Structure 1
Amino acid sequence: MSYRRASLYIVCTASFLSVLDLFIVNVALPAIQAGIHGTNGDGQMIMALYLLGHAIFLITGARMGDYYGHKKIFIWSMLLFTLASACCAAAQTATQLNTGRFLQGAFAAFMVPQSIAFIQLLFPEQHERSKALGVYGAIGGIASVTGQSLGGLLPEIAGWRWLFIVNLPIGLIAVIIAKSYLEEPAPTIKGKPDYAGILLLSSGLMALIYPLIRGRETAWPLWSIILIPVSLLLLTLFTFSQRKKDGLIDLQLFRNRDFNIGLGAVVAYFIVQDSYFFMNTMMLQLGMGLSSGLTGIYFVAQGSGFVIAALYSIKLVAVYGKRILQTGVLLMIAMLLMHILFITTSAYLFVVILFLYGLGCGAVLPSLLTLSLRKIPVSLAATAAGTYVTFQQISIALGICITGGLFLQLLGDTPTWQQWLQAYRSATGVNIFFLVIVCYLLARLKRT
């Protein structure tokens, strides 16, 4: 195996672990909540705080690699992520677990952009880089399948703490191999980081994302309404502060048309992606009474389709370009219509629908990253990656707020079976609308 190929798999452990820890908890939330004797609010924060820590520090984490070296930041953030996972596994209370989850998300925000920066540096030719980014996306898909299956099975077999223990050998092995094997690219920026920019950006993202996640659960108290315009003010001040040289974000990044369109498509796509899992987990377990293990098996069907399509779409996108992504989105829309019509019918039919939906996702997601970053200069690779994934995380919060909020609002406190069906079908219809927006934005990308 060549050095570049081996290095690609090493740095992709960051994507694997960060995605794994999102999906492995998603299916297992009822078991974790019971294990720590937590409230419904505690259970919801297990997901929310991971997303919050991830979104707040992604751009900062990307820039730290430019200042201090991508290898150094990758190794330290991977080590600290592993330590935070151990803290989650050892947690005795909801507060301890949620603190560990926030730290997991924060350290993941430092390690993930380094992996994408390494890909840009290891594969400077656009054709090779597209394939490498496709592998990166496919590994994320494998992590989602693994997370969904382990999240359903581990609590029943070994207990919920093993959801976090599985990270320890992977993280430690990745640190040891990376330290010995990866070559350290020279830092691309000299001087001190933009600490004022870090403070403005982190505060602005916190003020935006936290009320989006928590506001709906607490009936939108006054503080949640006030924080959103405050966040827009802070983010506006941050944008003006970045006009100086060597800020946290180089604003020339947003002069790239494909990158801007890609960001718009990412927002619409990820509003759908995680609200889909949120709604289907609730529908299958609470609405239809399935066990977490069986729910995990259902999601494995979806994830298997994702992995197969992701692996093949890497080659197909190189030949047919964005048409592969457009086909994938149309397949997702068709299968969501099938969800609405057939979720209560034969289990075998629903597994087929989930598999086909996964095929659509796998045709879109890995290559959406590729098309968005394909013309970004290597010097902006880490910043572009951090910005891309930050928009992704904000969109996840928006999806839970918009689609998930509608779903829960229609359910009410003590839903009947008809209310479950109405809420599920209405919210799935909203997700179809956002996928139509993804289709439109893909049509605006330059032909590849």
Structure 2
Amino acid sequence: MSQTLAARPEVVAPGAPRSEHRWWALAVLALAQFLVVLDASIVNIALPSIGAQLRLEEGALSWVITAYVLPFGGLLLLGGRLADRYGHRRLFLVGTAGFVAASALAGLATSGGMLLGARALQGASAALLAPSSLALVTQLFTAARDRSRALGIWGAVAGVGSAAGVLLGGVLTGALGWEAVFFVNVPVGAVVLVALPFLVAKDRPATAAPLDVPGATTITGGLVAVVAALSAGERLGFTHPLTLGLAAAAAALLTVFVLVERRSSSPLVPFSVFADRALTVGNVVMLLVGAATTALFFALSVFMQAVLGYDALAAGLSQLPLAGVLVVVAGGVPAVIAKTGVRRTLVGSLALLAAGLAWFGAVPSDATLLADLLGPSLLVGIGLGGAFVAGTQLSVHGADEGESGLAGGLVNTSQQVGGALGLAVLATVAATRTQSLVESGAAVPEALTSGFAAAFVGAAVLAAVAAGVAWRFAPRG
């Protein structure tokens, strides 16, 4: 990336709205991104209700999540490059329309197969929407101060979406039924589709290079195989033949992708982008943060229902403190970055996140919200607010216009693959620990609590590693 946008004079990108409309456009783009992040976690609490009504076995329920994550994580890089090639606004609208239609289809599902198909379409549409929306944000805000504020809002949306998934999933399922977790996307997505064309003019394609079909095929297949292998490892074990076969397929496809890209005249992912240290470190950090937070919200929602006896509504409402402090903190992070720099802000936020996760690991089996859960929830909210904002800024800081869709695809891919990795590994750790204690004669609540504690501590280790990476390798200043 030859020149950072932060270093350029204030220039309105091709197709950008007038300056007085940029912040309204940001609100609409952030709302769409909120839906994308939300849908990765909002179904967690609704899974028991879905299984009962659609007669899905417990093993098949995980596919309600996997069917969304697989195409989302696998198609993100292709979606980003398609946006650069055919126009970010156009791909954003196509992705949003597909997401709305798939959400309506999921809410109307009368069988497990229909629901899984709709979830797959949601994931594929999200893979077009997410990188396009982030690319539009980086084009609309080119001055350093405005861009910092805009990416601060964007990062906050990513963090809030993860936390709000558990909150809204519980509230909607408890009050209206599981169908509501999908139907809620329809009116919100319709607002986005109607409003955005009035706020963002048609943009010209950022690159005229032909699409790298061999590269797109191999990287998409490789990423899908990676996520599938991690999901299979979580359910079947990491030594199961299916898991090993998927891992081997992923390694082969990704190896071929590297060979193809080195020889391509117009590669899907120019490896030169990784010469930008900020982008590389930012993506590594976001992968680790995605791994830690996805495991956190899954384990926390199950712990509250299986051990503490919360119903879906109570489990959702218990996330209000975490989500609330995250929103408040994220709004002030750009000002902190302006004073202390991205590196220090990111390291401090990750340290707080690691501390909050470790605190969750000490929560007892008879925990109460005020005495045991509120403290770590607030600490995690503060850490996540800073980590998502600073990590996103670092990941896209040097993206020029022709690579903004690629940069958006990379950071979203890092979060999704990291989330799949963290969920697969830490869920396996928790299950193994619980089973071991039950077999040795421990009571089920204590065994479950110990298993979830192992998952929380593992997530804390991931956050601490991310802090170390940022401290050692992130650019200073």
User: What is the TM-score of this pair, normalised by structure 1?
Assistant: 0.95
Is the partner of 2:104 in helix, strand or coil? Answer: helix
Q: 2:460 aligns with which of 415, 432, 436?
A: 432
Identity %: 26
Mapped partners of 1:157, 1:120: distance in 2? 39
Q: How many Å separate the matches in 1 of 2:462 and 2:156? A: 23
**Counterpart of 1:252?**
272
User: Does the aligned pair in 2 maintain the 1:14–1:108 contact within 8 Å?
Assistant: no
User: Which range moved further: 408-417 or 180-189?
Assistant: 408-417
Q: Which amino acid aligns with 1:88?
A: A
Provide the residue aligned with 2:469 in structure 1.
Answer: 441
Q: Which amino acid aligns with 1:434?
A: L
Shift of 1:119: 1.2
From 390, 399, 409, give the equivalent of 1:386.
Answer: 409
1:28-57 deviation line (CA, Å, top 9, x unaligned) = 222222222211122111111111111011
| Matches of 1:189 and 1:428, distance apart in 2 | 44
**Residue deviations 1:299-322 (CA, integer Å, cap 9, x gap):** 222111211111111211121122
Q: Deviations over 1:99-145 (max 9, x none)?
A: 11111011001001011111111112233222111111222334344
Q: Does the 8 Å contact 2:166/2:297 carry over to 1?
A: no
Q: Are 1:172 and 2:190 an aligned pair? A: yes
Q: What residue in structure 1 maps to residue 316 of structure 2?
A: 296
Q: Aligned residue pairs: how many?
A: 448
* Contact 1:200–1:234, Cα closer than 8 Å, also in 2: yes
Q: Distance in 2 between matches of 1:368 and 1:353?
A: 21
Look up the match of 1:85: 103
Aligned-pair distance for 1:86? 0.6
1:373 matched residue in structure 2:
396
Partner of 2:363: 342
Contact 1:301 1:354 (C-alpha < 8 Å) held by counterparts: yes
Structure-2 change in CA distance of 1:189 and 1:379 (3 Å):
closer
For 1:373, the aligned partner's letter is: V
Looking at structure 2, the residues matched to 424 and 191 of structure 1 have their Cα atoms a distance apart, in angstroms, of 49
Structure 2 residue 147 is the aligned partner of structure 1 residue 129: yes
What's the offset of the Cα at 1:191? 5.1
Q: Is the 8 A contact 1:148 1:296 kept in 2?
A: yes
Give ranges in structure 1 of 5+ residues lacking alignment.
Answer: none
Gaps of 5+ in 2: 1-18
- Which of 407, 414, 423 is residue 400 of structure 1 equivalent to? 423
Aligned 1:49-448 pairs, distance under 5 A? 49-190=67-208, 192-219=210-237, 220-243=239-262, 244-321=264-341, 322-343=343-364, 344-349=366-371, 350-412=373-435, 416-444=444-472, 445-448=474-477
Contact 1:305–1:357 (8 Å) recurs in 2 = no
Specify the code of the residue in structure 2 equivalent to 1:384.
Answer: A
Residue-by-residue CA offset, 1:370-418 (whole Å, 9 max, x unaligned): 0222122232111011012112111111101111111112222977122
Q: Which residue in 1 is equivalent to 2:5?
A: none
SS in 2 for 1:25: coil
Give the Cα–Cα distance (whole angstroms) in 2 for the partners of residues 337 and 187 of structure 1. 46
Cα–Cα, structure 1 residues 272 and 146, in superposed 2: closer, same or farther, change >3 Å? closer
The 1:340/1:142 distance shift into structure 2, 3 A limit, reads closer
Cα distance in 2 between the residues matched to 1:64 and 1:75: 13
Partners of 1:363 and 1:139 in 2: CA distance: 12
The residue type equivalent to 2:476 in the other structure is R
Structure 1 residues 395 and 124, CA gap change in structure 2 (3 angstroms): same
- Which of the residues 47, 53, 65 maps onto 1:35? 53
Worse-superposed segment, 95-104 or 31-40: 31-40
- Counterpart of 1:246 in 2: which secondary structure? coil
Secondary structure at the counterpart of residue 362 of structure 2: helix
Secondary structure of the 2:367 match is coil
